[in-house]
Structure formats: C-alpha cells, structure tokens
Amino acid sequence: MSSSVRVVGAILMFATGCGNVATPRSVACGAQVLPNGNFDAAAPAWVQVPATPALLCGMSTITPVSAPQVACLGGIDGSVQTLSQTIALPEGVKKLTLSGMICVTTQETEKVDHDLLEFDVLDGSDVIASLGKFTNQDGAAQCAFMAFPDKTATASSDPVNAALRIRSTLNASTTGTTVTSFFIDNLTLTASCTP
C-alpha cells in the first residue's frame, strides 16, 4: 500500500471518529437564560419598539423592586409596545419557565380584557413558546408589586438563540379614560430539557 493511500485512510478514520464537531451550546439544561432580567444593566440592552416613549422607567414614575429601573409598558390607549431580549437555549430544551415581579395599574372598570400583556419566546418571527399573559383585570388603582405564579410553556423547537418578547396591547375604543400600565421587574427564564 502506498504512503499516500495510508495517509488518506488515516485522515478519513480520524474525521469519522470525531462524531459531531459542531460548536457546543453555551448554556446547559436547567440554566437561567435571560440576561438583564432586572432591566438595570446597560448591556445587553432590551430592544424597545417603539423607541419612544422609553419602555424602561424608574423612580420618577414608580419605585422599582430592584433599582434603578423596571419595564414599563402600556400607559397609552391604542398602543402596541414591545421589549425583547436575546436568549441562548440549551440543545434539547423542552420547557421554559418565567418568573418575576409585576404590578398592573388600571382605570378600567369593566370585567373585560381590554388591555393585554403577553410573554412569548420567538425563533425569528415564529412563536416557539407562549408563556402567558396579564390583563387589565389583574390590575388595581395603585401599584403594588407581587411575585407572579410561574408561567411555563412547552418549547416547540430549540434554536441556538431565541428572543423573549414582552408585548402590551391597549384597547383604543376608550382612549384616554381607562389606561392600563404594566410594570415588570426581576424576571428569570429557566430552560429545562425535561417535559
């Protein structure tokens, strides 16, 4: 056997013996995957749509659970506002669990869901996990932060990177008279590989 055949054979054996040589995921199953969940750090920044008015606020508007800032969505009837943060997911993620602190203030008196706050995990524009919602019916006249029950959802896929999106949608039919505001702090998002 020629030396060139032996070298090619050795290279092929080495390449096939390596298995999957893809870059390993940066997070493990069971990890908390949401950076800047208390909204206080400059980086990684939360993406705000629209950019104004600011969707992060502090002491001039509300007393944060962990100073200096909280997420502050709503407050303008007929508006849709979103905050989103990039997250890394472990390979094989099956379940995502969100926990945190919230207060909802509202002037709504009807027992109808006019104003909505939703938590979703997205792969691009596709929702891969819907983590639940709050509405004006969860609100009161004055803000009192409370820990909300864990919001858990099954993940339909496990991209390397996804995004947590927080979106408020306020009803326009009662513009200016029944405003709802959603204030959020100290979020954590845990990615589990067991159902």
In three state form, how does the secondary structure of the chain look?
CCHHHHHHHHHHHHHHHCCCCCCCCCCCCCEECCCCCCCCCCCCCCEEECCCCCCEECCCCCCCCCCCCEEEEECCCCCEEEEEEEEECCCCCCEEEEEEEEEEEECCCCCCCCEEEEEEEEECCEEEEEEEEEEHHHCECCCCCEEEEEEEEECCCCCCEEEEEEEEEECCCCCCCCCEEEEEEEEEEEEECCC
Does residue 90 or residue 16 have the better pLDDT?
A: 90
pLDDT-based confidence at residue 11 (cuts at 50, 70, 90): very low
Say what percent of the chain tops pLDDT 70: 86
pLDDT-based confidence at residue 25 (cuts at 50, 70, 90): confident
- Over 80: is that where the pLDDT of 156 sits? yes
pLDDT-based confidence at residue 12 (cuts at 50, 70, 90): very low
Does residue 9 or residue 32 have the better pLDDT?
A: 32
pLDDT of residue 149: 92
What would the pLDDT profile of 88-134 be if each residue is shown by its tens digit? 999 999 999 999 999 999 988 888 899 999 999 999 999 999 999 99
pLDDT of residue 22: 62
The full set of domains in the chain, from first to last, is 25-192 (2.60.120.260)
What would the pLDDT profile of 161-186 be if each residue is shown by its tens digit? 999 999 999 987 655 567 899 999 99
pLDDT of residue 125: 95
Answering whether pTM is above 0.75, one says yes
